[in-house]
Structure 1
Amino acid sequence: MPLLPAPTAAQLRRDPLPLRGRTALVTGASRRSGIGYAVARRLAALGASVYLHHHVPHDAAMPWGADRIEEVVAGVREARADPAALVAEGPGDLADPAVPAELVHRAAAALGGRLDILVANHALSGSDGSLATIDAAALDAHWAVDARSVILLVQAYARLRAVLPPRTPGGRVVMMTSGQDHDGGMPGELAYSLQKGALASVTGSLAATLAPDAVTVNTVNPGPVDTDYCTGDDYERIAAMSPAGRWGMPDDPARLIAWLATDEAEWITGQVIDSEGGFAR
């Protein structure tokens, strides 16, 4: 196979809107202090049309509460760089095995019939328990939301991409893992860390499966991110474990994820990437 020619000077100049004309589904984008919202804004700022998935009952039951979806959508629309780009939203309880495929098709329909980028950012929150306290219900609940739904989302996405012309550019899948594989692990959140570890483990297999359709698959570990869930002494203790002396902010992993969605990242696939600012456990 001949080598690809070196890029021209014009090709080396960055397009200010590298995602113009591309479409994206971002799950778990229901709070303005969350990673999903930051990712959606970054994608919109690069020119993409974006569909925001949310499950308000989950956030409403948490200490941080739920935002008004209208305000979330308005914030993403405000970040649009392409006035023609669409921003749409819709609910979905991803614990229901029928919802992932329905969500993918609903997002594609809202964005003009095609879906290029899938960012599976959602997760079931809450400290699920240690080895001494974990039970089957918690294990099953985290499996359904944190792992099973992601695989079903990718499956539905892949089926949509498969009907496009061969090697249509722009296919991207980004999943989210956590710090379960690093020193110290997550002994108080066994169900959560188990399912997040499953996504990290399956990244290479999904990347190999979707490579013939020119779709990259990567997984991001954002490390500790300040999404308003931690306060007090615990907050300060975690901040002190970073060389920068601070938590990650939602836009820190969002910048990486948005870049992975561009053509500049087309040669990166099957990777689990830490975006932790040197966080030391």
Structure 2
Amino acid sequence: MGIMPKLPPPPPEDLRRDPLPLRGRTALVTGASRRGGIGHAVARRLAAYGASVYLHHHVPHDAAMPWGADRTEDVTASVREALADPGARVLAGPGDLADPAEPAALHARAVDALGGRLDILVANHALSGSDGDLDTVDAAMLDAHWAVDARSVLLLVQAHARHRAALPPGTPGGRVLMMTSGQDIAGGMPGEIAYALQKGALASVTRSLATALAEHAVTVNTVNPGPVDTDYLTGEIYDAIAARFPAGRWGMPDDPARLLAWLATDEAGWITGQVIDSEGGFRR
């Protein structure tokens, strides 16, 4: 009988993957008002990792768009179905983040609803439409996108920093995750100047925010999801964009959601100040 090969030792405890790496953590996900959107996909991933989640929505915005709005009850129920920890919860509430007072108020409501502590802030919301190219963009378009796409995000981060600073030193799990749109990659977004400007501001400020929040044990990262099928485009243009991916398909909401959810875990605790592209090899 041959000699049995020696089995490798079991991995140390900290190398064994926890199936619920966000158990006991809490998250606020903004712009999670449609089941076809990235915010909904992120919320489901966080819930599947064990987190309690507060969903922010602004139904009037989506109702005015061609894709329309979902019922809040349906979105909440969908995220609740993904809950992996029986003790975790899913809650939801509205907020018009164009109002300068609303980011801090929304953050406070989420903190209260989730039991007094918020760990993860996912600033996913953005203004759709109300934009133009260099020739047609005007002051009103610029101001509208500034208010929603950049100012409100910075005020949410400010509220989160103040909240985390008031927690006991070294409280784990502090995360800020923002969204950009590849406006700095070849070609840019010449038809959406106002949107590209504000998303570029978030990308540019990521490292500064990461430095500012490091003392509160909070990491800050920004994700560019690339073109994602959120039910806003069909037809020949849709097919032409799909052909520019090596996989021959658009990104789906769960593609960036997997990255964002991982960045919220302790495994990503050494990653901060980064703008990360999650584009599936999209050829611009």
Aligned equivalent of 1:9: 12
CA drift at 1:126: 1.6
Aligned equivalent of 1:247: 250
CA drift at 1:127: 6.0
CA drift at 1:226: 0.1
1:253-268 aligned at under 5 Å gives the runs 253-268=256-271
Asked if structure 2 preserves the Cα contact closer than 8 Å seen for 1:167 and 1:212, the reply is no
**Structure 1 ranges of 4+ moved more than 6 A:** none
Letter in 1 for 2:129: G
CA drift at 1:175: 0.2
Residue by residue, what CA displacement relative to the aligned partner does 1:250-279 show, whole Å, maximum 9, x if unpaired?
Answer: 000000000000000000000000000000
Residue by residue, what CA displacement relative to the aligned partner does 1:171-204 show, whole Å, maximum 9, x if unpaired?
Answer: 0000000011011110000000000000000000
Q: Take 1:222 and 1:212, find their aligned partners in 2: how far apart are those partners? A: 28
Residue 104 (1) aligns with residue 107 (2): yes
Letter in 2 for 1:275: S
Identical counterparts, % of pairs: 81
Asked if structure 2 preserves the Cα contact closer than 8 Å seen for 1:146 and 1:192, the reply is yes
Residue 189 (1) aligns with residue 184 (2): no
**Aligned to 2:77, which of 74, 77, 82?**
74
Asked if structure 2 preserves the Cα contact closer than 8 Å seen for 1:129 and 1:190, the reply is yes
Q: Take 2:212 and 2:14, find their aligned partners in 1: how far apart are those partners? A: 29
SS at the partner of 1:149?
A: helix
Residue 235 (1) aligns with residue 238 (2): yes
Please tell me whether Structure 1 or Structure 2 has the larger radius of gyration of its CA atoms: 2
Q: Could you state the TM-score of these two structures normalised by the residue count of structure 1?
A: 0.97
Letter in 2 for 1:72: V
Provide the alpha-carbon RMSD of the alignment.
Answer: 1.0
Letter in 2 for 1:120: A
1:1-281 aligned at under 5 Å gives the runs 9-126=12-129, 128-281=131-284
> What is the aligned residue count?
275
Asked if structure 2 preserves the Cα contact closer than 8 Å seen for 1:127 and 1:188, the reply is no
Letter in 2 for 1:240: A
Worse overlay, 161-170 or 55-64: 161-170
SS at the partner of 1:119?
A: strand
Asked if structure 1 preserves the Cα contact closer than 8 Å seen for 2:130 and 2:141, the reply is no
SS at the partner of 2:221?
A: strand
Q: Take 1:226 and 1:66, find their aligned partners in 2: how far apart are those partners? A: 16
Q: Take 1:127 and 1:270, find their aligned partners in 2: how far apart are those partners? A: 30
Q: Take 2:112 and 2:17, find their aligned partners in 1: how far apart are those partners? A: 30
Provide structure 1 residue ranges, at least 5 long, that are not aligned to the other structure.
Answer: 1-7
